[in-house]
Amino acid sequence: MPRRSPSDLRWSDVTPKSLFLSRRHFIGAAGALAFASTARAAEPPGDLTPREAITTYNNFYEFGFDKSDPSKYAGSMTIDPWSVEIAGLVDRPGRYDLADVLKDQPIGEHIYRLRCVEGWSMVIPWLGFPLAGLLNRVGPQSGATFVAFETLARPEEMPGVKRRLLDFPYVEGLRLDEAMNPLTLLATGLYGDPLEKQNGAPLRLVVPWKYGFKSIKSVVKITLTSGQPPTTWQRLQPSEYGFYANVNPGVDHPRWSQASERRIGEGFFAPRRDTLMFNGYAGEVAGLYTGMDLAVNY
């Protein structure tokens, strides 16, 4: 299975270059069949967004509003030591060191599209593992129906937090069944290397069928709840940002059409691409929303 790596690796050594290169080489040599069976909805590797674009065109408002601010200023964020507090309706709550969070999780490569609500997209070769593995380990209790996430908020290391650009800490949430879907990842790296700080090191959420703002970075707390948790963007502007935020070309954002997208790295004059329902992952996730009006639950 090319996108699975040994499960006993830690963040600091999850991504040796040689392993990554040999895995990619294997994908090429083994052909499309092996690749398709392990990375559903994958793009051909040739369509990957260049690493340079993924690491310099960012949204991470803790470091400023400009797309170039995170790569300029995130260097000041301390990510070692790092721990994640797991709280709420779980059997084994507590503060887990990063190494403990990663312990026994099957870290591997997952090539996913990321579609931002602003109308651009990327194709990113993440390294990470399904969030479900961690949730199963801490044991959601029967009353848990949602999962809330929180990002580090350290004004002395984060100029955007200091200037109160948003109501920090940045918070997000998923329904528990969305969080348990195999597509939902905790990412530790990209392009075979540990995550850059501007991309949400050392650990960030990736939910590929939802707009990018759901993919919360630099996670320090995960809480299992019985009620729907508040989310940063919904709290700021509920008419523009819903809790679900599923990619949906048929439901426009008040300020941006969601029907098409610009692929970052292709140049500004490249033709826009049609946006796909659930960002192309309908086969995997449409069933989560059976009977829901997605124009109301946007």
Residues that bind ligand MTE (CB under 6 A): 58-62, 114, 116, 151, 170, 199-200, 212-213, 215-218
Q: In what order do the strands lie in the sheet with 94-97?
A: 94-97, 83-88, 219-225, 146-151, 171-175
C-beta of 200 vs 202, nearer to ligand MTE = 200
Whole-angstrom distance, CA of residue 64 vs CA of residue 49: 23
C-beta of 89 vs 264, nearer to ligand MTE = 264
Which DSSP category does 109 fall into? E
C-beta of 117 vs 285, nearer to ligand MTE = 117
**Residue 144 in tokens:** 């848990």
* Nearest alpha carbon to residue 236 among 164, 153, 157: 164
- Find out whether 62 is annotated in a ligand binding site: yes
C-beta of 109 vs 140, nearer to ligand MTE = 109
C-beta of 61 vs 129, nearer to ligand MTE = 61
- Find out whether 58 is annotated in a ligand binding site: yes
Phi then psi for residue 191, to 5 deg, are 50, 35
- Find out whether 204 is annotated in a ligand binding site: yes
Smallest gap from residue 184 Cβ to ligand MTE (A): 14
Contact assessment for residue 207 and residue 187, using Cβ atoms and an 8 Å cutoff: no
C-beta of 3 vs 217, nearer to ligand MTE = 217
- Find out whether 199 is annotated in a ligand binding site: yes
- Find out whether 281 is annotated in a ligand binding site: no
Residue nearest to ligand MTE (CB): 212
Smallest gap from residue 118 Cβ to ligand MTE (A): 7
Smallest gap from residue 240 Cβ to ligand MTE (A): 12
- Find out whether 248 is annotated in a ligand binding site: no
Smallest gap from residue 213 Cβ to ligand MTE (A): 4
**Residue 155 in tokens:** 């004004």
Encoded amino acid at 198, one letter:
Q
Whole-angstrom distance, CA of residue 216 vs CA of residue 129: 15
- Find out whether 215 is annotated in a ligand binding site: yes
Smallest gap from residue 277 Cβ to ligand MTE (A): 19
Q: Give the end-to-end CA distance of the chain in Å, rounded to a whole number.
A: 36
- Find out whether 197 is annotated in a ligand binding site: no
Question: Within 13 Å of residue 282, how many CA atoms lie on the same side as its CB?
Answer: 8
Smallest gap from residue 116 Cβ to ligand MTE (A): 4
Smallest gap from residue 285 Cβ to ligand MTE (A): 19
Whole-angstrom distance, CA of residue 253 vs CA of residue 142: 35
Whole-angstrom distance, CA of residue 235 vs CA of residue 168: 11
Which conformational region is residue 295 in: left (phi greater than 0), alpha (psi within -120 to 50 degrees), or beta? alpha
C-beta of 11 vs 213, nearer to ligand MTE = 213
Question: Binding site for Mo-molybdopterin, residues?
Answer: 58, 61-62, 116, 151, 199, 204, 215-217
Question: Binding site, residues?
Answer: 58, 61-62, 116, 151, 199, 204, 215-217
